[in-house]
Amino acid sequence: MHDALRHRLRVLSVIAAAEFKLKYTGSALGYAWSVLKPLALFTLLYLVFGRVFNLNELSPYYAVSLLLGIVLFTFFADATMLGLISIVTRDALIRKIFFPRIIITTSVTLTAGMTLLINLTVVAGFLAYKQITPQPDWLLIPLLLLELYVYTLGVSLLLAALYVRLRDLQQVWELALQLLFYASPIIYPIGFLPPWAQKLVFLNPFTQVLQDIRALLFYPDLASNRVTAASAFGGLGRMVPIAIAIGVFVVGYVFFRRQEPWFAERA
């Protein structure tokens, strides 16, 4: 059993690395695109909302806070979109070779995760420029990123299994991602929202991860940046989005495995 697990992990790592390399094959700028895309969006949004609407006056860390939100959401959007089409676009492969299909969807989310790590180095550069001193509680950030990955993988597995039968889902999810971007406190401080709306957006684990990381990086800062799931729900409120993230992963995994025997036939 351990040998089989090691073999699957090895196959997963090889496929993920190959996917990452192929993503930028033939591109003049290569891996630089993984950084340029979120930076271009950040520049536009910062000029509009940071400068024109003066949101940067709310906090000395508005720029890096905005960039962090864009980088994390770019990972979520890219991973779920790649995961959604992962089975269908590899229909020839799954018809010829028998192996756990979950490796395919997991590998594309890991590819997006590699891009996330590259983009986080840019965020680290902004933190250094702002002379933000690392704190011991920054060690919690990898756990929060792991939570985001588990949630993202769960969504990706669910979408991949559904897309085999519902081909309109790609357009629906693209629209949903646009709505989620502006519904999440990426551009604006979550403190601008009334308490009932804060609870609503915290039902998305992405918001909880983003706000917890912001609280760790920018504390002490304005109270609006320190709004977390714990403060929104009170008490053990932090567990609400964490439970949702785990629940989404479990549902996605179970649904994916149940649909897996018919992928070759329907893809």
Q: What pLDDT sits at residue 209?
A: 96
Q: Which of 132, 123, 111 is nearest to 66 (CA)?
A: 123
Nearest Cα to Cα of residue 208 among 245, 181, 157, 235: 245
Q: Which of 224, 148, 218 has its CA nearest to residue 188?
A: 224
Cα–Cα distance for residue pair 171/229, rounded to 1 Å:
31
Q: Dihedral sign, CA of 241, 246, 250, 252?
A: positive
Give the C-alpha separation, 100 to 88, whole Å.
Answer: 15
> Which positions ≥6 away from 71 have C-beta within 8 Å?
38, 116, 119, 120, 122, 123
Distance CA 187, CA 236 (A): 27
Distances (CA, A) of 251 to 88, 163, 254: 20, 16, 5
User: Both ends of the chain: CA-CA distance in Å?
Assistant: 30
Q: What count of Cα atoms within 13 Å lies in the side-chain half-sphere of residue 181?
A: 19
pTM: 0.90
pLDDT of res. 234: 77
Q: Which burial class, exposed, middle or buried, applies to 169 when counting CB atoms under 10 A from its CB (0-12, 13-18, 19+)?
A: middle
CA distance 262 to 142: 36
- Tokens matching residue 3: 């040998």
Give me the tens of pLDDT residue by residue for the chain, a chain 267 residues long.
Answer: 566 667 566 766 766 676 666 666 555 555 677 788 899 999 999 999 998 989 888 888 999 999 999 999 999 999 999 999 999 988 777 777 777 889 999 999 999 999 999 999 999 999 999 999 899 999 999 999 999 999 999 999 999 999 999 999 999 999 999 999 999 999 999 989 999 999 999 999 999 999 999 999 986 554 445 688 888 887 777 799 999 999 999 999 999 999 998 887 766
13/201 Cα distance (integer angstroms): 34
